[in-house]
A and B are shown apart, each in its own frame.
Chain A
Amino acid sequence: MNICVCMKQVPDTNEIKVDPETHTLIRKGVPSIVNPFDTYAQEVGVRLKEASGGKLIVISMGPEQAKEAIKSCLAVGADGGYLISSRNFGGSDTLATSYILSEAIKAIEEKEGLKFDLILCGKQATDGDTAQVGPEIAEHLGLPQITYALDILEKDGEIQVKREYDAGYDMISTTLPAVVTVVKLPYEPRYPTIKSKMAAKKKEIPVLTEEDIPAIDLAFCGLKGSPTRVKKTYTPVREKNGVKLTGMEAADAANEVVKLMEEAKLL
């Protein structure tokens, strides 16, 4: 099974702090990581590939430094990677991003002389949190999609996907090729070894610009190709003057909380 994993390098949201004076995000010095949901996509992809043979290629759209994130995927089982990068791609919203990625996927199939059976994405990137790029790639490529996957199993040239559902999960099957977005797995993504890390570090990551994606129409890329506009951003004000009860007997603390909630007319 040939697999394409779409990955995004994101700032580690655990490390993001808000400047108390300016109420803006402090991005400086925040480490970049592989989007956590994409590490699941990558892991399930590697397992499927190991079981059935084939090639797993990881692609990412972003600046030059996203090569580091691609290399960290190479260290945990990806066979190759491409960075998709151009000034003309900057400012893309999800519609333009998914268009560029879908055209890049077709160009990579051509270059590699293969067809992808499965395109995997994390359910969403933890910076934008939109969960839209995966389904939009599927639409651009005219492929079936299954979102919110908890596991993927291959069966007779089809896949069965455990899809998140209110009271458990739905088992959904689809023919290949298909796009699946992954939310979580029953196992943890593997860690790289020192050896695999060293090997990945030495690999060249080819960069694809519009020159390398002949069919791409720049009118659908970047700000020009993006129907949405960000009007403003701001940090939410968390004005919680919470009550914290410390060093009280459990019963007293519980009664106090119930009393305070009653006074605040919350019950």
Chain B
Amino acid sequence: MGNLNDYKNIWVFIETECGKAKNVGYELLNVAKPLAEQKGCALVAVVIGKDIEGVAKDAICYGADSAIIVDGPEYEYYTTDAFTKALVTLVEKYKPETLMIGATNNGRDMGPRVSCRLKTGLTADCTAIDIDEETGNIAWTRPTFGGNLMATIMCPDHRPQMGTVRPAVFKKGAYDESRTGEILKEDIAVAPEEIRTKLVERVKEVAESINLEEADIIVSGGRGVGSEENFKLLHELAAELGATVGCSRAVVDAGWMPHAHQVGQSGKTVAPKIYFAIGISGAIQHLAGISGADTVIAVNKDEDAPIFDVADYGIVGNLNEVVPALTAAFKARKA
């Protein structure tokens, strides 16, 4: 392992796709900033992709002290092999003390591959990050057992200490255009034969890319919505609020909505400001996906549905009447 004291600074991996950053990287910069200040170390953004110099600049404006970029055509789309090689190479060269990665599908694909190659510890899908007062180690807190239990985990004797962190749990910081910092370019070439997976095609099942993980308001429907056609009531409410439409697993299984909309353990984990659960009973697998929601509004005809236990505002009633009434009420408020 070498000397633990050789490892310095906090790194945040900024995930990009086709040159555009996902929000979670900037959110992590905002969480890591006070930790870096407390430790008296630098906060470094790491960007791997194609044409990503602009992202590195943005990362500095969002709070990074400096950035390291690996830019090349082989990084246009995420692949496990190329990104793992690049990130491991950087860690071995610069020895960061801490490495944070957004817990997106790609982040959770790459994170364990990197930590395993480095033979260090990785904590998955964290929702809180602190510094342990006694040891100075990062204390990573995460939900387990479908959100029934929280665990705080440390990596005392290995570096870097790594964690994947759930998107949308933390807020982005303010964008400060006046900030400047060094942008270091690293050339790490990956030969085509080293990349053993190939993107054959990308199939869009929904008109536009829905980004449930970063949505501020989500209107979600469950089995209780009753039919595919009936989802238009939810779409109307969502349109009124500028919200994204989600659904429970039962809806996907019934073929009413594509899987890309699914919220819950076998779908997306979300953390919106407002979450509408319409005709969703509140099975634990669904609740596990919405534990990060600030405010939950439930509409259900069953007064005893478990969703009401986690709802801030609940309406017991027929959703065919209540949902249009909500749309009208929000509309009236704006008028």
For residue A144, which residues in chain B have a CB less than 8 angstroms away from its CB?
A: 80-81, 196-197
> In the bound complex, what is the Cα–Cα distance between A19 and B322 (angstroms)?
35
The residue that A243 contacts in the complex, of B196, B294, B312, B332, with Cβ under 8 A, is: B312
The residue that A244 contacts in the complex, of B204, B211, B311, with Cβ under 8 A, is: B311
Whether the pair A136, B123 counts as a contact (CB closer than 8 A) is no
- Residue B259 lies at the interface, judged by CB distance under 8 Å to chain A: yes
For residue B191, which residues in chain A have a CB less than 8 angstroms away from its CB?
A: none
- Residue A101 lies at the interface, judged by CB distance under 8 Å to chain B: no
Question: Contacts A13-B145, A248-B317 known; A136 to B260 CB distance under 8 Å?
Answer: no
For residue B273, which residues in chain A have a CB less than 8 angstroms away from its CB?
A: 266
- Residue A199 lies at the interface, judged by CB distance under 8 Å to chain B: no
List the A residue with the shortest CB-CB distance to B274. A266
The residue that B153 contacts in the complex, of A167, A230, A250, A258, with Cβ under 8 A, is: A230
Whether the pair B112, A16 counts as a contact (CB closer than 8 A) is no
- Residue B303 lies at the interface, judged by CB distance under 8 Å to chain A: yes
- Residue A203 lies at the interface, judged by CB distance under 8 Å to chain B: no
The residue that A14 contacts in the complex, of B202, B284, B294, with Cβ under 8 A, is: B284
Quick check: which of A50-58, A81-89, A123-131 contacts chain B, the rest being far away?
A123-131
For residue B329, which residues in chain A have a CB less than 8 angstroms away from its CB?
A: 251, 254-255, 257-258
The residue that B146 contacts in the complex, of A13, A98, A244, with Cβ under 8 A, is: A13
Give A128-161 interface residues, CB cut-off 8 Å to B: 128-136, 138-140, 144-148, 150, 160
CB of A156, distance to nearest CB on chain B (Å): 13
- Residue B335 lies at the interface, judged by CB distance under 8 Å to chain A: no
- Residue B315 lies at the interface, judged by CB distance under 8 Å to chain A: yes
For residue B112, which residues in chain A have a CB less than 8 angstroms away from its CB?
A: 94, 98, 131-136, 139
Quick check: which of B50-58, B113-121, B169-177, B219-227 contacts chain A, the rest being far away?
B113-121
The count of chain A contact residues (Cβ–Cβ below 8 Å) is 83
Whether the pair B154, A146 counts as a contact (CB closer than 8 A) is no
For residue B260, which residues in chain A have a CB less than 8 angstroms away from its CB?
A: 164-169
For residue B283, which residues in chain A have a CB less than 8 angstroms away from its CB?
A: 14
List the B residue with the shortest CB-CB distance to A188. B253
List the B residue with the shortest CB-CB distance to A132. B112
The residue that A261 contacts in the complex, of B204, B291, B295, with Cβ under 8 A, is: B295
Quick check: which of A106-114, A170-178, A189-197, A204-212 contacts chain B, the rest being far away?
A170-178
Whether the pair B210, A230 counts as a contact (CB closer than 8 A) is no
> In the bound complex, what is the Cα–Cα distance between A174 and B313 (angstroms)?
48
Whether the pair A184, B312 counts as a contact (CB closer than 8 A) is no
> In the bound complex, what is the Cα–Cα distance between A235 and B202 (angstroms)?
40
> In the bound complex, what is the Cα–Cα distance between A69 and B294 (angstroms)?
38
- Residue B187 lies at the interface, judged by CB distance under 8 Å to chain A: no
- Residue A262 lies at the interface, judged by CB distance under 8 Å to chain B: yes
- Residue B41 lies at the interface, judged by CB distance under 8 Å to chain A: no
- Residue B206 lies at the interface, judged by CB distance under 8 Å to chain A: yes
Give B29-52 interface residues, CB cut-off 8 Å to A: none
- Residue B189 lies at the interface, judged by CB distance under 8 Å to chain A: no
> In the bound complex, what is the Cα–Cα distance between A166 and B208 (angstroms)?
10
- Residue A93 lies at the interface, judged by CB distance under 8 Å to chain B: yes
Whether the pair B152, A164 counts as a contact (CB closer than 8 A) is no
The count of chain B contact residues (Cβ–Cβ below 8 Å) is 90
List the B residue with the shortest CB-CB distance to A147. B109
List the A residue with the shortest CB-CB distance to B124. A130
Q: Which residue among A16, A242, A262, A267 has the maximum number of chain B CB atoms within 10 Å of its CB?
A: A242
Question: Contacts A168-B260, A172-B200, A235-B149 known; A228 to B313 CB distance under 8 Å?
Answer: no
- Residue A214 lies at the interface, judged by CB distance under 8 Å to chain B: no
Whether the pair B116, A18 counts as a contact (CB closer than 8 A) is no
> In the bound complex, what is the Cα–Cα distance between A170 and B78 (angstroms)?
11
Whether the pair B146, A257 counts as a contact (CB closer than 8 A) is no
- Residue B27 lies at the interface, judged by CB distance under 8 Å to chain A: no
The residue that A236 contacts in the complex, of B121, B147, B158, B325, with Cβ under 8 A, is: B147
> In the bound complex, what is the Cα–Cα distance between A94 and B124 (angstroms)?
10
Q: Which residue among A93, A147, A167, A233 has the maximum number of chain B CB atoms within 10 Å of its CB?
A: A167
- Residue B143 lies at the interface, judged by CB distance under 8 Å to chain A: yes
Whether the pair B311, A168 counts as a contact (CB closer than 8 A) is no
- Residue B209 lies at the interface, judged by CB distance under 8 Å to chain A: yes
- The 8 A CB mask of B138-157 against A (1 = contact, 0 = none) is 01001111111111111111
Question: Contacts A173-B197, A243-B314 known; A231 to B266 CB distance under 8 Å?
Answer: no
List the A residue with the shortest CB-CB distance to B17. A166
Give B203-260 interface residues, CB cut-off 8 Å to A: 203-206, 208-211, 258-260
Beyond A95-B120, A171-B199, A257-B315, 8 additional contacts (C-beta under 8 Å) are: A129-B145, A135-B111, A144-B81, A163-B105, A169-B205, A171-B201, A242-B296, A251-B328
